[in-house]
Amino acid sequence: MEAGFLNILKPPGMTSHDVVYRVRRLFPKGTKVGHLGTLDPPAAGVLPVAVGFATRLISHLPDGDKAYLAEVEFGLRSDTLDAAGVIEAGGPLPEVLDLTTHLLPYQGTIMQVPPQVSALRQDGQRSYDRARRGEQFQLPARPAHYHKVELLRQTRHTATLRVACGPGTYIRSLARDLGESLGCGAILRFLLRLQSGDFHLPQAIRLEEIEPQQLLPWHWPWREQSSRVLDQWPPPAQVEGWQGLAFHPKGAALYRDGIKVWAREGIVGGASA
């Protein structure tokens, strides 16, 4: 059975689930497909997708950094923090938009409140479901890690930013907080994801271009890590603190901190038997 990863270029206007549905239709009936992290419907860019038994590896993938190109518009506010929501006028813009100074706090790990319209769970429910029902609630601040926020272009009302960040960071929250620090409000007008872990925009393919032979190998996210050889099968539950993939003529196993977290018989050296 075919298995591996696809680096999809998601167009704006589609949900991540829409992309999964489209990909699933290209493979034999019953093939499992899942994405590696939600990209908001208005956003475009890199959306990695797992196919076949590679879906079982999603929760075990190495934590991947993200990179985005973001356009922020000042003087507006939105209930979704972007252009897809109900937009209202914010405060007056400062005479001088000194964005360089106001971007300085976005370095390293900070505490940031995520958008209410998000896939986060609170009290067992998706936050976006509660928001769409009109419920009043607050999400707690959570750590967000920024490697670098670079100002690429600025006009009187907008700014284009390149953001390198850790997983779980919301660029809509960055736009909101930047606008509030200026006293005028701001929304995320457009977002393009340039990178998600080991998946980068230049190698992304459009949905219309997908073919089964374009699948990246199921072991691709670990391709730059060393592997080891198992001398027994089934694989032992623990292997001397090993972190990564281990192979045996009968199959392969994935270890995290020496503990087996996944194993599959019938694959050798990254190929399905």
- 78: its two tokens: 């939105």
User: CA Rg, the chain, in Å?
Assistant: 21
Say how far apart CA 169 and CA 148 lie, in whole Å.
12
Q: 136 pLDDT exceeds 80?
A: no
Say how far apart CA 219 and CA 34 lie, in whole Å.
16
- Integer angstrom CA distances of residue 57 from 22, 211, 234, 267: 21, 21, 18, 14
Maximum C-alpha span of the chain: 70
Tokens 């956003």: give the residue: 43
On average, the pLDDT of the chain sits at: 91
pLDDT tens per residue, range 200-244: 999 999 999 998 888 999 999 998 888 999 999 999 999 988 889
Active site residues: 40
The pLDDT value given to residue 268: 67
